[in-house]
């Protein structure tokens, strides 16, 4: 939840995966005093795009509250043996950067 709105990470990840500079992505919510949680995207990219560009892309296809508040560059998305994102590990990575 961010600002009282539920954000599912998969649709946000699907939009972000369409950005040409983003090779892989996982979306998590990080605790925030004002919003409850804020959408945070951990991305694998050779050239991290500007946050506003990424936010505009998400807002063009999803409600505005789904747009990431933070972008964090990582080397690889933590994944299970089945290839699913390990969101708890990703959130731990994000909290160390924030």
Nearest to 95 by CA among 2, 28, 49: 28
1-25 confidence digits (pLDDT tens):
777 889 999 999 999 999 999 999 9
More confident position, 5 or 57 = 57
Instruction: Give the integer Cα–Cα distance in Å for 7 and 28.
Output: 9
Strands (E), 1-98: 24-32, 36-44, 70-73
- The domains of the chain, with CATH numbers, are 9-97 (3.30.300.30)
23-40 confidence digits (pLDDT tens):
999 999 999 999 999 999
Instruction: Give the integer Cα–Cα distance in Å for 54 and 68.
Output: 8
60-96 confidence digits (pLDDT tens):
999 999 999 999 999 999 999 999 999 999 999 999 9
Q: What is the value of pTM for the model shown? A: 0.93
pLDDT given at position 57 = 98
The DSSP secondary-structure symbol of 50 reads P
Q: Which helix (H) or strand (E) holds 60?
A: helix 51-61
């Amino acid at each position: 939840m961010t600002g009282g709105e539920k954000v599912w990470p998969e649709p946000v990840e699907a939009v972000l995966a369409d950005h040409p500079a983003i090779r892989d992505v996982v979306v998590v919510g990080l605790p925030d005093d004002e919003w409850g949680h804020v959408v945070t995207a951990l991305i694998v990219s050779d050239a991290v795009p500007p946050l506003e560009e990424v936010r505009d892309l998400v807002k063009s296809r999803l409600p505005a509250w789904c747009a990431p508040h933070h972008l964090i560059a990582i080397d690889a998305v933590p994944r299970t043996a089945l290839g699913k994102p390990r969101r708890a590990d990703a959130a731990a990575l994000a909290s160390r950067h924030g």
